[in-house]
Amino acid sequence: MAKIDKPEKIFPDITEDYRKIYGDDLISIILYGSAAGRDYRPGKSDLNFLIVLSEEAIDRLGEAIETVSRWRKKNVATPLFMTKAYISSSLDSYPLEFLNMQKGYVMVYGEDVLKDISFESRHLRLQCEREIKGKLLLLRERFLETEGKPRRIKELTGESITAFVSIFRGLLYLKGVDIPSSRREIVEALAREIPVDGNVFMNCLDMKEEKKKFAPSEINDIFMAYLVEVRKLWEFVDELE
């Protein structure tokens, strides 16, 4: 499978495909996530799209099955299909997800449905707390399942750190800080605003992106430090009003 080195190269084709299916009922196609910014890694990062349809067309998802399947073979993830009403009614339940979309997206086609959405701090704080607590429990559980094998600990660290960077965006928003575009800049900004050790999270990113080689004993030590810093995050969010 050929790597998609620049996501924008597929914009015309993917737009044409969904226009053929939905016509004027296609409201928006939006690229979001790492592929919309500087963290995109050709051949490794998924290409994530939000597709916004009319209320009538959202019930015709079956018509997109073949197109979705064909694009998945090209490393394009199954899109999120929504309506404008769904977005506006979900900002209290999923503010973190929509904040992350809003802070890193590229318009591909149609109406910019993310530009003007806003978030209530109380909803965002509650979700950040819930996400951190849940992920901390999951990290502990999955660490025990690694059987202490460095390779599996490294995989767990790399898989989980991306989700925490998404939470970091929410915490920076709550602090009233401009949110940077790259993961590493986000970690640096977080460490300036919250009493955590940014170097630990940087090491986790290094594992994910294979920027450095770590000895087996280092991998275990970094993961243990990772758990400590995540617990600090939970304590910080728990004290926020």
Mean pLDDT of the chain: 94
| Residue listed under structure tokens 């986790």 | 204
Task: Tell me the pTM.
Answer: 0.88
The fraction of the chain above a pLDDT of 90, given in percent, is 86
The pLDDT value given to residue 46: 82
Q: What is the mean pLDDT of residues 81-91?
A: 97
Instruction: Give per-residue pLDDT as tens, 43-85.
Output: 777 899 999 999 999 999 999 999 999 999 988 999 999 999 9
The pLDDT value given to residue 240: 81
CA distances for 111 relative to 42, 50, 83, 92, angstroms:
27, 12, 12, 22
The pLDDT value given to residue 241: 66
Instruction: Give per-residue pLDDT as tens, 110-158.
Output: 999 999 999 999 999 999 999 999 999 999 999 999 999 999 999 999 9
Long-range pairs for 5-9: beta carbons < 8 A, 24 or more residues apart: 5/42, 7/31, 7/35, 7/36, 7/40, 7/47, 7/106, 8/106
Instruction: Give per-residue pLDDT as tens, 193-214.
Output: 999 999 999 999 999 998 899 9
